[in-house]
Amino acid sequence: MADSLAIAILAAGKGTRMRSSLPKVLHRLSGLTLVENVLASTAGMNPTRKLAIVGYEAAQVKDALAHVEGIEFVEQTEQLGTGHAVQQVIPALEGFEGNLLVLNGDVPLLKPETIESMLKTHTDNGNAATILTAQMDDPTGYGRVFCDENLIVQEIIEHRDCTEAQRKNNRTNAGIYCFNWSALMTILPHLKSDNDQNEYYLTDVIKDLSPVMAMDTSPAEVAGINNRKQLSEAEAVMQRRIKDALMLSGVTLINAESITIDSTVTVEPDVIIEPQTNLRGNSVIKAGCRIGPGALVENSTIGENTLLVHSMVTDSAIAAGGRIGPFAHIRGQAQVAENCRIGNFVEIKKSTIGANSNMAHLSYLGDAELGAQVNVGAGTITANYDGKYKHKTVLGDRVKTGANTTLVAPITIGEDVTIAAGSTLTKDVAPDCLALTRSPQKTIPGWKPRYIREDSQP
């Protein structure tokens, strides 16, 4: 089909200037790898084919993208330039008819609407190729694109080959292309590496295609990531985009510069996010919540109208009406039901907490199942680990544990049980009981420490 679209993402490079063993395209930006950000910018285009051209640490890149539906991998075993990279897709696209969009896996800030506009420009004008360009204040080091008044590309000249007059042209090549595949195939297989680098440059096909049109976009969108400084600068751009969109959707950010929010996070209207808060991964913050200050939420759901202060929630879910913190730690697929109070210095791991339950301070629950309206006294812990296995603790509805209670798992405490302060329980307790384990209290009148008795002797 003439309107079919294939997307090829160049993701084969090592990224030497990142000074990392991790492939450059797998460094993270606002919750996604660089190459995932590139893929995200194409999500609304419904391409016929999606190809990632991989090379350095190809297995890592493939693993990182294995979740992407319909992704195909093409290997570039030697990195011999952009033209050589695109040559690798020729066998995979045998018989393909349509357009090929070529994106760079280390250019993660390109907006979907920019790509859509580029494709529209390409198809509306019947171009053999369309290239994305940016007019930069300082284009030093970038290839210059020379166009006529209709933005028809006449030539592309590398910076080092430009005359002084040509260097005054600030329109640069962004390295993003859309090709008519059939037109490209008349030239691509015949590229040569007659240059100082002995590489095959994709720009070399432009002079033999017609018409070729340029489309300008902002320099910020086409900024490539080559080192950690540029990664940090891109993070600042992405964070501004994310937070601007949230504020315009009805979310309040107090001291927005101190807050970080991944692009994968969903925040509903009427949420207030306080300073020094970090929202990461596939988290969902429901309407009416107040998050922070000093909170971390990662891959978790926070229910409506929950207050979460100076606390950490990872891989867990808090239902509506919760009051969490300060200094609570909820992790490991914990599930906290409606209207629970999880207070100071409380840790919950891989446990379910029933509705309207209360853990106000200084407690640990691991591998536990609590019913509704349970009150956990200060200093209560589940001794859930025997050194080899984790064991379960079950507390029925309306159980009350006294301060400094230890529950040695596996153990089941029935409904409406009260546990006396200072108890260590090792056996199940039937419903409607008082449970306690205490040694008899001894009182010795007139007792003084030995050193006081010895000092008082004449």
Instruction: Please give the annotated binding residues, written as ranges.
Output: 10-13, 24, 76, 81-82, 106, 143, 158, 173, 226, 331, 349, 364, 375, 378, 384-385, 421, 438
Dihedral sign of CA atoms 101, 107, 112, 116 in order:
negative
The rounded distance, in Å, linking the Cα atoms of 194 and 347 is: 64
Known active-site residue 159: no
Spatial CA neighbour of 80 closest among 157, 178, 13, 25? 13
Question: Which single residue is written with the structure tokens 């320099």?
Answer: 219
The rounded distance, in Å, linking the Cα atoms of 298 and 311 is: 11
Structure tokens at 298: 């990662």
Pairing of β 290-291 and β 260-261: unpaired
User: Which residues sit in the known binding site for Mg(2+)?
Assistant: 106, 226
Structure tokens at 341: 């109070």
Pick the catalytic residue from 27, 329, 361, 391.
361
Backbone φ and ψ for 288, nearest 5 degrees, come out as 85, 0
User: Which residues sit in the known binding site for acetyl-CoA?
Assistant: 378, 384-385, 421, 438
Spatial CA neighbour of 85 closest among 1, 186, 9, 168? 9
184-193 LR contacts (CB < 8 Å, sep 24+): 184/100, 184/128, 184/129, 184/209, 185/90, 188/83, 188/86, 188/87, 188/90, 189/87, 189/90, 191/83, 191/84, 191/87, 193/80, 193/81, 193/84
Cβ pair 156, 85 in contact under 8 A: no
List CB contacts of 425: < 8 A, sequence separation 6 or more. Answer: 405, 406, 407, 408, 411, 413, 419, 435, 437
Residues involved in catalysis:
361
